[in-house]
Amino acid sequence: MDRLATLNLFVRIVERSSFSAAAADCGVSRPVATAAIKALEARLGTRLLQRSTRHVQPTVEGEAYYHRCVAILADLEDADRGAGGAVAGVVRVDVVGHLARTVLLPALPDFLARHPKLTVHLGEGERFVDLVREGVDCVVRAGELVDSDMVVRRLGMMEEITVASPAYLAKHGTPLTPDELDGHRMIGFVSSRTGQPLPLEFTRDGGVIEIALPARVLVGGADTSAAAARFGLGLSQAPGYRFADDLASGALVEVLADFAPTPTPLSVLYPSNRQLSPRVRVFVDWLIETIRPRLDIG
């Protein structure tokens, strides 16, 4: 491996805490990765990584070398772009599957045409992601975010609605106010942070009220929650764009529109402890220009 490829491999090993995962990211075999790092340590005359059967972590010298390598690689990308070179490499992003399928994928051909040397690796998830450990460059998440050491860029606010299937409403009645929810059920969306189902939220008289209805079905994903609502298993709340097709087809009906939940923020997050590379920067900029008009959010 040449020196530049070795530096990139070393950075990936530190971030992934794994030779195997880093080797796969860099498109080399585990033995090649091991040999390259041994040669690097021999050339520098110092041990950069502490290896165990389960974990790999940098030594004190390795930590300092890692930060220098991150800066060098980012500066090199900047230099290439400043000299007229195209941004290149892989952008690893984690995003809710429905948002990826309905908003990002339709617009992705134009982005890839603009940046022919970039590859986009889309991972689907709604759980908290350790970006550095899992080798992810950025994530798109909905909701208020807890304090972290990540940079948060707000993409906009998504209008939320409450829906149910016609069969459910025929059985349980159509509530006109939150006070009429006795006897109703909700699809219990389980928070990945607390492990508990989130209550339904409504606005009334300028304030916010939360109502935890009984839930016979608990889910951990928004797609499953929407599907459960279509099968008449309870009330569900989510951003309105998610239910556009269901509302148009009549599979779901909006209820309690005058008491709609508060809008949900949508943000892109990336690590603050490393310099943002040009390939990630152009992707984040594209996210902002793409998501806002397609979701009609401000």
CATH number at residue 195: 3.40.190.10
212, 255: one domain: yes
189, 253: one domain: yes
**C-alpha distance from residue 130 to each of 208, 226, 258 (Å):** 32, 27, 38
Range of the structural domain that residue 256 is part of:
160-262
186, 213: one domain: yes
Phi, psi of 272 (to 5 degrees): -95, -10
139, 256: one domain: no
39, 133: one domain: no
- pLDDT by residue for the chain (298 residues), tens digit each? 788 889 889 988 888 888 888 888 888 999 999 999 999 999 999 999 988 767 788 898 888 888 888 878 877 776 765 555 678 788 889 888 788 888 889 999 999 999 998 999 888 766 566 665 666 888 888 877 765 677 888 888 889 999 999 999 999 999 999 999 999 999 999 987 788 999 999 999 889 999 999 999 999 888 899 999 999 999 999 999 889 899 999 999 999 999 999 998 888 888 776 666 788 889 999 998 888 777 655 4
Distance CA 79, CA 205 (A): 55
Domain boundary pick from 55, 82, 109: 82
145, 269: one domain: yes
8, 74: one domain: yes
Domain boundary pick from 82, 103, 134: 82
User: How open is the CA angle 87-136-63, to the nearest 5 degrees?
Assistant: 95
The set of residues, in sequence order, having a beta carbon less than 8 Å from that of 289 and lying 6+ positions away, is none
Would the pTM of this model clear 0.85, i.e. be above it? no
215, 169: one domain: yes
193, 176: one domain: yes
The set of residues, in sequence order, having a beta carbon less than 8 Å from that of 24 and lying 6+ positions away, is none
